[in-house]
Amino acid sequence: MRGKADSDLVRRQNRHIVLEALRLHGPMPRVELGRITGLSPASITTIANQLIDDKAMRELNEAPDRSDPNRRGRPTVRVELNPDAALAIATKISIDGVDLALVNFAGKIIARKNTLIATYEVQPDAFGKALANIMRDFFDENSLKSGDVAHIGIAAQGVTHSQKGTIAWSPAFRATNIPVVEPVERETGVTCSIANDANMIAEGVMSADRYSYTGTAAVVFMGYGVGMGLVIDGKVYHGATGAAAEFGHMNHIPEGALCRCGRLGCLEAYASDYGILRFAKNLAEQTPPPSHAVPRHIMVDLENAARQGQANAVAAYQNAGRAIGFGLARMIALLNPDRIVLAGPGTRALDLIEPALRAAIDEGVVEELRRQVKIETVPIDTDMIIKGTIDATLRYLDLNIFASGPMRNLAEQKEPQQ
């Protein structure tokens, strides 16, 4: 028994490595696949044949290159992920509503749909029903049946609970413990999973160099809120319930400014759009945050005022940089990361934030720990959440479906979870 279990595991791992290489590097000849994965030519031949039989991979039908007279004999055939192997849906739930993307197995977006919902006042059950209706309409509009979609991945703003399939708490909702996975699975008959949106940004940022990067990094989202995705030893770390790295709601100043979560002194209350704006307008720290995202043009005006030297605006960005910097100093002391990646629309104001941010890190953690940390920026918009969710959902398919066998295993796959 042991021997069979071991060889099954190796087979799954090798199939997964091959799928991941194709996902990351695109079409390539089998020889190249062997070079990148480190698998032997014999293994590559076996795995490629299996994956082609299972319709997860296909050979490209390319005309041989006749321009090079030195190339003789059989042309090199390239293999690629079969786009038709499966369909998946990536979903983003935020304070602006619900955003859907239908993608094929190769990651190409086939359809997009954006539905505005006033999420803040909606009741939990009503939201589940609304989400199920949005999904059903999306299925109908794209002539999809239950069996056509292999998995639905959802990213939500706030604290998500991956096992319960709920949004435990989110700045997008007044209510708490909102069921998301159950209503979607019931309506569509498709398996569904939920994760935090900042973790999905980390998935998106890290998927680009998954092969080369095996270290520890923090991806910080700055904008309507402040979030973090943690990458530990090359993998996004989700924690016990999927709520790890709730950076924005770590305490910055005890009994300090009022946060959107209702508590006092969270980092987000100083470093999010509403926190920066409240400070710049000289409003009391207890002034309640707005129930919607601050419009972009208001933040752009504030950035410009700060760049022209308007004192309150300058101080507001310094204050934000200090809050993020001290938070990062604690994180550096705990995890000894080698990269910090700043992301999200808030990075537009990085020139205003960064000096105070770096000064706070210098002040907050010993030099031996911070010396090797690189601070990088990815100037990204919120679509990075959808991109990261697509990446994570397709890797879910690679690992849970196609690494073990063809699509027909999907029904069996679901049973043990019940």
Q: Does 252 bind Zn ion (CB under 5 A)?
A: no
Among 44, 259, 373, 401, binds Zn ion (CB under 5 A): 259
Reference 348, options 255, 244, 252, 223; nearest CA is 223
As a whole number of angstroms, the distance between CA 410 and CA 87 comes to 13
Chain centroid to Cα 302, Å, comes to 29
- Distance separating alpha carbons of residues 409 and 62, to the nearest angstrom: 31
Determine, following the binding rule CB under 5 A, whether residue 22 of this chain makes contact with Zn ion. no
Q: Does 258 bind Zn ion (CB under 5 A)?
A: no
Shortest Å, Cβ 258 to Zn ion: 9
| Orientation of helix 197-207 relative to helix 383-397, angle to 10° | 70
What is the C-alpha to C-alpha distance for residues 238 and 339, in angstroms, rounded to an integer?
18
What phi and psi values does residue 114 have, to the nearest 5 degrees?
-120, 120
Tell the smallest beta-carbon distance from residue 146 to Zn ion (Å): 39
Asked whether position 356 contacts Zn ion by CB under 5 A, the answer is: no
Our CB check for Zn ion shows the closer of 82 and 94 to be 94
Cβ(236)–Cβ(229) under 8 Å?
yes
Shortest distance (Å) from residue 159 CB to Zn ion: 10
Whether residue 284 contacts residue 275, with contact meaning beta carbons closer than 8 Å, is answered with: no
Stretch that binds Zn ion, among 252-260, 292-300, 367-375, 381-389 (CB under 5 A): 252-260
Residues 6+ apart with CB under 8 A from 284: none
What are the start-end ranges of the E strands in 197-243?
A: 217-222, 226-232, 235-237
The Cα 193–Cα 154 span in angstroms is 6
Contact between 190 and Zn ion by CB under 5 A: the answer reads no
Residues 71-100 that bind Zn ion (CB under 5 A): none
Does residue 278 bind Zn ion (CB under 5 A)? no
CB of 157 to Zn ion, least distance (A): 13
Half-sphere exposure of 275 (CA within 13 A, CB side): 32
**Sites for Zn ion among residues 221-250 (CB under 5 A):** 249
Minimum gap (Å) between residue 266 Cβ and Zn ion: 3
Region of 10-18, 118-126, 264-272, 364-372 interacting with Zn ion (CB under 5 A)? 264-272
The CA distance from 261 to 248, in Å, is 10
Name which of 253 and 359 has its Cβ closer to Zn ion: 253
Judged by CB, which is closer to Zn ion: 133, or 286?
286
Closer by beta carbon to Zn ion, 153 or else 223: 223
Q: CB of 160: closest distance to Zn ion in angstroms? A: 16
Q: Is position 352 an interface residue for Zn ion (rule: CB under 5 A)? A: no
Q: Which of 134, 266, 313, 385: binder of Zn ion (CB under 5 A)?
A: 266
Q: Which stretch binds Zn ion (CB under 5 A): 19-27, 138-146, 262-270, 375-383?
A: 262-270
Distance (Å, rounded) from C-alpha 247 to C-alpha 289?
A: 18
Interaction of residue 267 with Zn ion, rule CB under 5 A: no
As given in the structure block, the two tokens for residue 273 are: 């759009």
CB of 106 to Zn ion, least distance (A): 40
Other CB atoms within 10 A of residue 372 CB: 10
Stretch in the footprint of Zn ion (CB under 5 A) among 22-30, 259-267, 284-292, 361-369: 259-267
224: nearest Cα among 281, 271, 159: 271
Total binding residues for Zn ion by CB under 5 A?
A: 4
Closer to Zn ion by Cβ: residue 102 or 250: 250
Q: Please tell me whether residue 261 binds Zn ion under the rule CB under 5 A.
A: yes
18-to-244, 292, 349 alpha-carbon distances in Å: 30, 44, 41
Q: Which is nearer to Zn ion, 230 or 266 (CB)?
A: 266
Q: Give the residues lining the site for Zn ion (CB under 5 A).
A: 249, 259, 261, 266
